[in-house]
Structure 1
Amino acid sequence: MADPILRWAGGKRQMIDDILSRLPPLTDFNDYYEPFFGGGAVFFELEPSNGHINDINPTLINFYKQFRDNLDYIITANNRLDDDLSRFNSEEKMKDFYYTRRREFNELQNGRCEDKLREAVLFLFLNRTCWNGLYRTNEDGDFNVPMKSKIIKTESIKGNLKRGHYALQNTTITSKDFTFIEKEVGKNDLVFLDPPYQQQSDARHFDEYQPGGFDEERQKELRDIALKLHRRGAIVMITNSHDAKNLYTNHDEFHENFRIKPIKASRSINSDSSQRSQLGDTDIIVTNSPQFWDHKDFDNFR
């Protein structure tokens, strides 16, 4: 198994044991679908041979496609960028180099230069060197995250990059709206849904990082599609914020067929480490996974 290739806000690494212990083994499902891929922690742990991964962010998806098909080139190019960066003897010059590469990335990303492979090279470089692995854009769609003080060198993660590359082989990679699963998912397929969180109590919402956001109507649409997939015989798991529990418990048919598990997970968006606290239940896992139907630690919230 591999760790995620990218650092990604809202990733599920700290919840991975809770998630995996409530999913069926690889032999018990057909195709695997993850339509809100992000950093893909669950996918890289499972390493399904029949995966369908998707994200609405086309730049992220271009990275995964290029990474699947051009690993050696991306690693070599990132090693060169590390060498170039290490030649500077002042923080100011290192930042100048970073912001020059960020500007180049934004030009490629916004279609002013057609070089998808170079875009992917710079995507990995910026993810390794930007603050907290955050992917954030301004109103013009330009990536605008500043440089961090301590970068992650390519050589230090080369082994995991290779494992991630192997996991992506024979994987279908797309960039569509998540609703495509309504037509494609079949009986005994496994669907892991990790949408931008519905938040009420946090000042900073995860859906700030997705253009157009992911409002309550979209959350309901996702819930209703999950119910349709359940009726079809698919295995479905959803992760969301604890604040979203009523979305699922107030719908009678959904509540009768899915179980909910509250999870304690710390928040890590804040730049002040003292504010990355764990205050009670923060997340929920919602699933119809049959082997955990009577699992004693699932709550009904009623």
Structure 2
Amino acid sequence: MSALEKNVKVSTPGRICLFGEHQDYLNLPVIAAAISKRVKIVGTKKSGNKIFINLPDINKHEEFQLSEKIPYSKERDYLRSSVNLMLRNGFTFSSGFECEITGKIPINTGTASSSALVVSWINFLARISDQEKILSNYEIAELAHESEVVEFSEPGGMMDHYSTALGGIIYLKTFPKINVQKLNCNLGSFILGNSEEPKNTTDILARVKNGVLNIASRLKQKYPDFDLQVLSDESLKNFENDLNEQELKLLFATLRNKKITQEAHSLMNSNKCDEEKFGI
């Protein structure tokens, strides 16, 4: 079989956040689990320098030429940004390719459909490149985060990229450096319901993230020892004169979320998980 005839196939799961929702972009820990719904990409090289992408699930088709820097055609143009990122990282494409992207992950439901797509796309691009490189799951997660979040100055964190790239259940800490722990506890099965009401994830992330970061910045200026990493919800009374009611609620929710995540991590690391306390 020639290089032009060789099929490249990859797939990536979506994810659910078990504990620490909206925490990773504040450098606070999260626990996430991959789900059985996946994004799949199948493609093969073609002569020429064009990329053809079929998206039958949404009745769309995209095509663009390979160049040193591919211009973006829309906001959050992850398909093109990923190619640009791979080119910047030394990958080359001496021929174009055609692929089909399909998936069962519901869109705009908080199950990381876009991140799973980007993770699959990065994996696919590395394998179909001239280098035909098989990246580690950690490398894929880092590149996917850069393509989706950093490239477009988005508010999201790294949970989606690590949880979809690594699979299983993970405990992710991003401060003071990235630390991922695979958790092997048996949580049984989850039923994922879809209300079919779209979730505007980006706007929610921006509002919560910017709100907490603004509070933390102001308190840090007044109290140099202020640190979200070590602050407890019980100590909020020390800042009652510095924050309004809404700000206190937002900060309390953030710290309580952190505490619950840490308690869940301890339970999931124990020899015998307390199912009643865990909520199974």
Q: TM range, normalised to the smaller chain?
A: 0.3 to 0.5
Per the normalisation by structure 2, the TM-score is 0.33
Per the normalisation by structure 1, the TM-score is 0.31
Q: Which structure: greater helix fraction? A: 1
